[in-house]
Amino acid sequence: MTLPEFDAVVLDVLGTLVDEPAGLRAGLRAFGPHLDEPAIEELVELWQRHIELEQRRVLDKARPYAVSDALDREAARAVAEAAGVDDPVAEAALALSARKLPPWPDTGAGLARLAERYPLIGLSNASRTALLGINAHAGLRWHQALSAEDARTYKPDPEVYRLAVTVSGVPPERLLMVAAHAWDLRGAQDLGLRTAYVARPVGDPPGPFDRFDLYADDLADLVGRLGHAPPGRPLDRAADER
């Protein structure tokens, strides 16, 4: 297997570069000091289920497009009700915890090393405003950060990936999409982007029928593979066997 040539790297943000559940847990501990850890985990799952369901409803045209900030406020309201907390100020603060997400340990160095070789484009379902907060809190550095808000839909709608194609000015096959979510990479593939799966504890692992261009254990591993396997050269055997 060879890694085709590409001109820029497109990276998912939530889950791939930042630990979303960890940020939500921190927000919930501040929101409800009385909550124990099992309760917090249940509320994190409730939050994420709400976001996933409502984004799917947007994709299915079952509701008009709503920016991620609105969905976060809805999720915070659902969590507050489930926790039995009636405090609008605390609820508003909880909604903002979706922007205070810690980076994975290898994220900062990985982005810096990738940026030495390629233009980097962040591509997120987070709104423009939320993405600004996420980038600032986690110390993410890009050449360009794009929000699905500009397409008024959510990944994996092809129109979101098309934003990266338009900004880069190159054909889809000249872009490498990096994500910890197989569903995200499938969406990118549908538009013709090259794909690299990066394993994260909170990601969506590839299924038996997925065929991505590159597989890595984490972002540091991806950087190493790209550094030792320039475009056009064979990948190592571990990647070939996947």
**What is the per-residue pLDDT across 18-67, written as a single tens digit (0 to 9) for each?**
999 999 999 999 999 999 999 999 999 999 999 999 999 999 999 999 99
Both 90 and 170 in one domain: the answer is no
Q: Which value, to the nearest 10 degrees, does the dihedral of the CA atoms of residues 22, 25, 26, 30 take?
A: 180
The model's pLDDT over 117-149, given as tens digits with 9 standing for 90+, comes to: 999 999 999 999 999 999 999 999 999 999 999
Q: Is the model's pLDDT at 79 over the cut of 60?
A: yes
Both 110 and 139 in one domain: the answer is yes
- Report if residue 2 sits inside a domain: no
Q: Is the model's pLDDT at 229 over the cut of 50?
A: no
5 confidence band (pLDDT: 50, 70, 90): confident
**pTM value?**
0.91
Both 191 and 221 in one domain: the answer is yes
The predicted pLDDT at position 227 comes to 77
Both 88 and 132 in one domain: the answer is no
Q: Are 148 and 160 in contact (CB under 8 A)?
A: yes
Both 105 and 190 in one domain: the answer is yes
Instruction: Tally Cβ neighbours within 10 Å of residue 126.
Output: 27
What residues pair up with 161 in beta bridges, in sequence order?
none
Q: Is the model's pLDDT at 240 over the cut of 50?
A: no
- CATH number of the CATH domain containing 34: 1.10.150
Burial letters for 8-33: b for 16+ Cβ neighbours within 10 Å, e otherwise?
bbbbbbbbbbbbbbbbbbebbeebbe
- State the average pLDDT over residues 201-226: 95
Kindly write down the DSSP assignment for every residue of 149-204, as one continuous string: GGGTS-TTSHHHHHHHHHHHTS-GGGEEEEESBHHHHHHHHHTT-EEEEE--TTSB
The predicted pLDDT at position 228 comes to 52
List the one residue out of 181, 180, 127 whose CA is nearest residue 152. 127
Q: Which domain holds residue 233?
A: 8-18+101-240
Percent of the chain surpassing pLDDT 90: 90
Integer Cα distance of 103 and 109 in angstroms:
11
Number of compact structural domains in the chain: 2
- Report if residue 3 sits inside a domain: no
